[in-house]
Amino acid sequence: DAKTTQPNSMESNEEEPVHLPCNHSTISGTDYIHWYRQLPSQGPEYVIHGLTSNVNNRMASLAIAEDRKSSTLILHRATLRDAAVYYCILRDGVEGDKIIFGKGTRLHILP
Amino acid sequence: SAVISQKPSRDICQRGTSLTIQCQVDSQVTMMFWYRQQPGQSLTLIATANQGSEATYESGFVIDKFPISRPNLTFSTLTVSNMSPEDSSIYLCSVDGLTSGSHSTQYFGPGTRLTVL
């Protein structure tokens, strides 16, 4: 599986935008970029995913670099409830059924 | 979306015993997945369970230690056998959404917190 690299932790102030980076320099042409997050004491939950174009949904935006070797999850206005571990994951076109988790980024939100 | 429940939510067990964890989904799904999350760590995939066939285990996990059943499209069990304190973890099941594959969404259960004394 192609690997992703994320910072171990990040901090942000409440009500400010948060940009969570992810590097995936060995991504293949058919890999989808997925983001999940895990709130304290809960199972992971889906946030967003994309292939080549930037994506928006009610939770976040996903900005994908033109060469697809990196992406950024954008939380437009962080709240205390967004404090979680955020995982950037590649799901490949061959074995796309299973998700392999990396270490993720622990996001701290400061009130 | 899919709603997943797990039983038990937590348990404390003695070493050498076995525990069976149940995973129930509110809709029929093709693939179910079992993960382990050790304290302070990320999730590690144990195995993929398809209905009607044997589970496929990831490297480092074997059927004798983690037997899995998948009797129908809404239910699966994971047994942690001959437990040791190193098996203390959260065990989670997950399923793909309406579709499967690289562009689908996975849904996760709340997890079973296991402590082995």
DSSP A70-83: EEEEEESS--GGG-
pLDDT at A64 over 80: yes
Say if CB B26 and CB B3 are below 8 A apart: yes
Comparing CB atoms, the residue among A42, A46, A51 nearest residue B106 is A46
- In what order do the strands lie in the sheet containing B4-7? B4-7, B19-25, B75-80, B68-72
pLDDT given at position B99: 57
* Contact between residue B94 and residue B106 where contact means Cβ atoms under 8 Å apart: yes
Is it the case that residue B24 has pLDDT exceeding 80? yes
Q: Which of B48, B91, B106 to mutate: most A Cβ within 10 Å?
A: B106
Say whether A97 and B109 touch across the interface (CB within 8 A).
no
Average pLDDT, chain A: 92
Interchain proximity B102–A43, CB inside 8 Å:
no
Confidence of residue A99 (pLDDT cuts 50, 70, 90): confident
Give residue for tokens 């992971």.
A44
Per the CB < 8 A criterion, the answer to whether B36 and B47 are in contact is: no
